[in-house]
Each structure stands twice: as structure tokens, then as C-alpha cells.
Amino acid sequence: MSIDYSEKIPNNVGLADNRTLQRALEHWQPAYLDWWADMGPEGSQNFDVYLRTAVSVEPNGWAHFDHVKMPDYRWGIFLTPPEAGRTIGFGAHKGEPAWQDVPGEHRANLRRLIVTQGDTEPASVEQQRHLGLTAPSLYDLRNLFQVNVEEGRHLWAMVYLLHAYFGRDGREEAEALLERRSGDADNPRILGAFNERTPDWLAFFMFTYFTDRDGKFQLCSLAESGFDPLARTTRFMLTEEAHHMFVGESGVGRIIQRTCEVMNQLKSDDPAQIRAAGVVDLPTIQRYLNFHFSVTMDLFGSDVSSNAATFYSTGLKGRFEEGKIADDHTLAGAAYPVLELRDGRLATVEAPALNALNEKLRDDFVRDSKAGIERWNRIIEKAGVPFRLKAPHKAFNRRIGPLSGARIDPDGNVVTEAAWNSSVAQWLPSEADRAFVASLMGRVAEPGKYANWIAPPARGINNQAADFAYVRFN
């Protein structure tokens, strides 16, 4: 299962033995590189970036670090090794051998799952393409680019499945993945959050904390799939995803740390004074958190969904950590609580567990997200600042599902349109908030130096020295 880097497309799937597939992917490769040149990180084509590249597919010790030009990054196809005798862990096919090929009757649904996942990968690169121009340090610039090349590789992962298992439809979908554009009015990306702008670095860190975490939960569910190639490719993607969430959590944490330092120096919690000192006030950080949290909530889809039920019963998409759940893994007759609007209030009702799988995954995500928010709160607490960040209610600011029909505040109270309008500036970033954060942005390109609004990281990437040149401009 070792990775073959002598090939045009590095891989551990024996591509050289399948000439038809190899030719098809070699045909897609230049289109991918054109897309990267057009929509990848702006102005970065000649930079030497200290990137990690996969050298093995084992969970530990797969990374090799070196300076490379991003267009020369070795995007490739890496699957975790097959598990001998793997069986399907849930649904109607529970206990049967995992599929090595696409079962005809599930073909359309499987393709839809792969395309929807695949579409998010290039979308985030497009959303983040201007951020390099305003990176607060070389360390952060490198992390942005690392995330971007790996999202590019995630696209490769899904395109490999489309080409290898879906014939002509798959090749057409692979082309369409390079044609949609984040935020485009005529040909947008499939999911809402992936058409939002990522205009500044606070938004970037919130995005990698919350939205890449949605990626983690979706990939974990697909890693349970009865379609073995999908399970194996998403397992390897998860090892890369962990770094993206680290970038988000540590990035927000460093902004908080710097803000608290300034608050203590000024002995003030007045946002105007904090802003005048050139750092982001904590209430603004809370509003960004509320925005990215709520937009990410919608990515899990409708609370009650017959598609989710079908994906599960047919063995295509499992639950988060399916193997650790002690039940019959078919969900026959089981119930799960979901929220509904009843007489102008939120009410908890029981839905068939099979139909409430989106809601269950959303709840798993909320638990995981809150743990990191508590780690941010410990930074604030340690600084002696009496302020706490909080995840908004999961019904807050929803655009998808039955809860999108009402105005719901961050505490989960249904409010009138007038009350919403008079308070929304306290709950979500206003144009003025965004303009203020934008005013702080500006590229810091000297090794070891950081913008005033963010603290340096606790340690360097791959334990490099504090003044290491993570990016060399040419």
C-alpha cells in the first residue's frame, strides 16, 4: 500500500495497472491545474511554501515537510489499506461483506453523496483565495496554504471515486466540480455555507473551526459506508482534516489571547477602547462565532429527512462512530428528539430515529464544538477577564429545515421580526463589525513577526524555530 511518487498522479491504488482509469484521470489533471491557477490562492504561484506531503497512509507518521511551490504539490490518490473481511455495520445489509463495487440500485444516491462532499472541497479554496494577501504572519500564511492544498487533494479523492466507479456520469460530475464557483449567481457551489464569503482571518479561523468540523462529521459518517472504497478514502481524508480544525481552534485562541492581553493592559472591557488599540473585542468574536456556528448548522440538512433515512438503511452513510454505538444498527422502531415550532414556541418532539439522522449528526457536532469553545474560555479565564463565549442555540439563525420559519434568538427563544431587527446587531456581525475587522488585516511577511491583533503560536510547525521562513516569496 505504499505511495508511488514516480507516477504523474501519486497513488497507492495501483493506477499504473488500470490504463483506462489512468488516462481518464490524466485527462482531468490539466483541467484541475487550470482551476487551481484560476481559483487557487491569489498571487501564490511562485511562492516556496513549507508544506507537508503524505508519505504513507498509516494514521501516524505520514507527513514529509519541505518547501515546495504549490502548483507542484503532489496531489494524489491515497486510501487507507483495506480491512480484511470488512462487513457492513448498519442498515438492511448489516453483516454482509462490504461492497468493492457500486451496487446498481444505490448508484444514484452514492454518486449524489460523493458529489456533494466533493463540491465542498474546491469551494473552500475559492472562498479563501484572497486571504493570503492579508496573512498576519508567515506561519499563518503557510497554514492557510496547507489547508488549501489538502482541500484540493480532497477533491482528487472524490474525483477518483467518480472516475473509477461511475463511468461516464462520473467523468461528467468530475468536470462539473471544476465548473461551479463559490458564490456564483449562475453556477454556485451546492451547499449554502460554501457560497458565503470568507473575507478576513477571523472568518477564516471560525470557518476552519466550525465548517471544517462539519467536514469531519460528514467524513466520519461516510467512513462507515458499506461502499468500501468510499470508507477507505474518507478515512485518510480525516487525518488531514484534523489539521484544518487545529488551524481554526488555535487561530481563534490566539486572537482571544491577544485581546485579553490588551484588555488587561488597558484595564478596560469597552469595545471602543479595545478596538482603538487595534485588537478584536470579545463581543465581536462572539458575533462571528454565532454566524459561523449557525451557517454550519444548516449544512447538516433538514432535521427530519427521508433521504437521510434511505442513505442509512441502504448502508451508504452511517452514524458518527457507528461502531461504538450499542444498539441494533438498524434503528427499527427507535425514536430521536427533534425541535419543532408549536404555537409560536420551540417544542421537542420524537421523530423516527431513522429520519432524524441529520439531527443526530448535528447534535454530535454541537457537543464536539462546545468542547473547543470551553478551551477558548479557559484562555479568557486564565487572563482573569470576566467574559464567556457561548455556542448559540442550534435553532438560531437557521435557513434550512422547519426552524427556518421563525426568528429565534441565540438563547432559543422565538422572537418577533421587530425584536429580531432591533437586536440582530448584537447577535451577528454587522457591516461595521466586518469593516472594523477588515481594517486590521494587512500582510505581515517578516519571519517571526505577527500582526498586532493575534498572539504568536505556542510552537512552530514541525517544531521549527520561531523565526523560521515558512513561506519564501520569489
* Cα(335)–Cα(352) distance, integer angstroms: 4
Stretch that binds Fe ion, among 38-46, 97-105, 110-118, 213-221 (CB under 5 A): 213-221
Stretch that binds Fe ion, among 8-16, 34-42, 212-220, 331-339 (CB under 5 A): 212-220
Site for Fe ion in 151-170 (CB under 5 A): 151, 154
Q: What share of the chain is helix, strand, coil (3-state, %, to 5)?
A: 50, 10, 40
Q: Which residues make Cβ contacts (< 8 Å) with residue 411, sequence separation at least 6?
A: 392, 393
Q: How far is CA 210 from the centre of its chain?
A: 7
**Number of chain positions touching Fe ion (CB under 5 A):** 7
**Contact status: 235 vs Fe ion (CB under 5 A):** no
Stretch that binds Fe ion, among 86-94, 145-153, 399-407, 445-453 (CB under 5 A): 145-153
Closest separation between CB of residue 210 and Fe ion, Å?
11
In the complex with Fe ion, which residue's Cβ is closer, 10 or 215? 215
43 exposed, middle or buried (CB, 10 Å; 0-12, 13-18, 19+)? exposed
Place of cell 485518510: 236
Stretch that binds Fe ion, among 235-243, 291-299, 339-347, 403-411 (CB under 5 A): 235-243
Site for Fe ion in 236-295 (CB under 5 A): 241, 244
Closest separation between CB of residue 162 and Fe ion, Å?
16
C-alpha grid cell, residue 52:
507537508
In the complex with Fe ion, which residue's Cβ is closer, 200 or 241? 241
Closest separation between CB of residue 435 and Fe ion, Å?
28
**Contact status: 142 vs Fe ion (CB under 5 A):** no
* Cα(98)–Cα(83) distance, integer angstroms: 10
In the complex with Fe ion, which residue's Cβ is closer, 138 or 158? 158
Give the angle 310-312-314 at the CA atoms, nearest 5°. 65
* Cα(57)–Cα(78) distance, integer angstroms: 7
Nearest to 161 by CA among 213, 225, 220, 115: 115
**Contact status: 212 vs Fe ion (CB under 5 A):** yes
Q: What is the dihedral sign for C-alpha 280, 442, 127, 208?
A: negative
In the complex with Fe ion, which residue's Cβ is closer, 211 or 257? 211
Closest separation between CB of residue 238 and Fe ion, Å?
9
Stretch that binds Fe ion, among 23-31, 116-124, 162-170, 450-458 (CB under 5 A): 116-124
Question: Are the C-beta atoms of residues 292 and 214 closer than 8 Å to each other?
Answer: no
Chain contacts with Fe ion (rule: CB under 5 A):
121, 151, 154, 212, 215, 241, 244
